[in-house]
Amino acid sequence: MMCIQAGDALSSGDYSFAVESNPGSRLVVNGSEVINSPYGPAEDSGTVTLENGTNQLRLEYADIEGEHFLGVGWRDSHDQLLPRISVVDPLRSGDSFEYEIEVPARAVAKRSAMPFASNRSLAIGLPPNTNCCFDTTTGAVQYGWRGGFLDYGPQVAYGDGRGNDASELLGTRFQAGADEYPLRFGTDAIEPDYQFDGYREGFDTVDLFYRVDGCDVVQTIKRSQDGVGLTYTFSLKDPPAGTIYFITDTGSDIERSASVGTWNGGTLEVPAGTSTFAVTMRSGGALE
């Protein structure tokens, strides 16, 4: 048996599953048979409701001689195609593998090596169906994505004991205006002293705790109310003297707004002494 900790869908509902195989196969979801295709090669499909929490997928398959292929794919109620699972290990008669789909009812944060980002990133899921990647080494949200959460399969240890590849996104990336060390005090020209301290999951938000030039910062991330984007609320304890800066990538196609301060290009300038302010970043386009 091969066990894989895998992708997260961010809303409960009906999902359509399809199995493509040349050996015979049977798909069981949460103990109920969804597909029974005893003779291959074949492609068969079925529909099942996934509820909040962990949903168990079990795929059983028979053995044949020669080359093997076996894949499972599924679509959500909005007809969004989620990445398929492929079995590449040699198939043996009566063998099976299990796969977990998490449908969280609230925000979730998981440490993970991430594509297009640091291997010390934090993947954040914000229901419904909005996610982002926070680089804990630079204090910046690298990008967001719409759709499901993550496929952790590449990080799971296999026979060689290694599983260090980045997790795969289950959705479409969008821009978040990322720039390294975006929060700065006194000057925007010098990278600050930065240290990440941890995070806390809320109902529909995730709080990030870090220090910038000795100032304790709580950055709360949530899905923006309008459009495709993210809202960051900053709470600062005894900020250093001088103007507060929040720097974004001027080359990105981003719509920026803030509760306090003025924009100078892609940089927000917040008056000295401000202890709380919010920034909303809405994406104008998807990334490949």
- Reduced to 3 states (helix: H, G, I; strand: E, B; else coil), residue 157 is coil
For residue 264, give every residue at least 6 positions away whose Cβ sits within 8 Å of its Cβ, in sequence order, or none.
Answer: none
Beta partners for residue 14, in sequence order = 49
The Cα 99–Cα 106 span in angstroms is: 21
Amino acid at 275: S
Which residue has tokens 């099942």?
A: 48
Q: Taking the model in full, what pTM does it have? A: 0.65
Instruction: Quote the distance between the C-alpha of residue 178 and its chain's center.
Output: 16
* Helix (H), strand (E) at residue 141: strand 140-151
Each residue's pLDDT, cut to its tens digit, for the chain (288 residues) gives 222 223 344 466 777 777 666 556 777 777 778 877 665 555 567 777 777 666 677 766 654 444 444 555 555 555 444 444 544 443 444 444 444 444 456 788 888 888 888 888 999 998 878 999 999 999 999 999 988 787 765 554 343 434 456 777 878 899 988 889 999 999 999 999 999 999 999 888 999 999 999 999 999 999 998 888 999 999 999 999 999 999 998 877 889 999 999 999 999 999 999 999 999 999 876 664
